[in-house]
Amino acid sequence: MSARILIVDDNSIARKTIRSFLEWHDFRVCGEAVDGKDAIRKVRELKPDVVLLDINMPGMNGIQTAAKIQRVSRRTKIVFLTVHNNPGTRNAARMWGHRFVSKSAAGTELIPTLIRVAAGEWVPNVSRTDRATML
């Protein structure tokens, strides 16, 4: 897979596990970030095609981070990967992300989702203009 992926999760074991899983499936992981602030800095620096983003992080949560990433790099696609799989979280994630994968379903859903997102198979639920007014 030629898409460059940035993994953002505050849990180091989760980052290492995700990295190993992606590399085993021939994805290119360009870096890792430990929180939202680090993610934004690394998006500017590494210019990933896809950010794999946890929602529950200290400081700036994943939804806030996604909104800022979209301002910094409109071409970067965001896939939320989180344990939070309730309707409210899913709806908030849809506002700023391209896809949502529950960590409990990552073994079967993550790779096909990343392939689709990297290939550009995504239609936004909300326009960028509408997103900007929601901040």
Q: How many structural domains does the chain have?
A: 1
Sorting pLDDT into bands at 50, 70 and 90, what band is 105? Answer: confident
Cβ of 111: how many Cβ atoms within 10 Å? 18
Q: Which of 126, 121, 51 is nearest to 81 (CA)?
A: 51
CATH of the domain at 43: 3.40.50.2300
Element (DSSP H or E) covering residue 68:
helix 62-72
List the domain range (segments joined by +) for residue 13: 4-134
pTM (predicted TM-score): 0.85
CA separation for the pair 31, 6 (Å, rounded): 5
pLDDT recorded at residue 122: 59
pLDDT surpasses 70 at 124: no
